[in-house]
Structure 1
């Protein structure tokens, strides 16, 4: 995924756009697990920047309304 983020023409605030998607939802827990297991993440600066961004800019609220 690091390579994919490095190759894209537009640097969005989230992995693949200006809104969070599946990649963003799964990235944070994976990075957290890697940190907990003391895995060296220095080879993944773009992935780390996405999780740092999450701390500074939380995910937009998710609607709790049910479809009618």
Structure 2
């Protein structure tokens, strides 16, 4: 679970457009990033903007995560 208000996202299952596999957002909407190689989970407040992403946790490498694995409350 993630805090919807803390991350500026809508409550419920994370929108597909807000999630990306990789180390950098490709669009302004991609806020939650998962690096399969390292297992790092990142939050990028401005998506593909100039601001740097912040590491939230290390979940383990190689997981098959999708937006549906995250629920915002």
* TM-score (structure 1 length as normaliser): 0.24
- Where is the strand percentage greater, Structure 1 or Structure 2? 2
- Higher RCO (C-alpha 8 Å, min separation 6): 2
- Where is the helix percentage greater, Structure 1 or Structure 2? 1
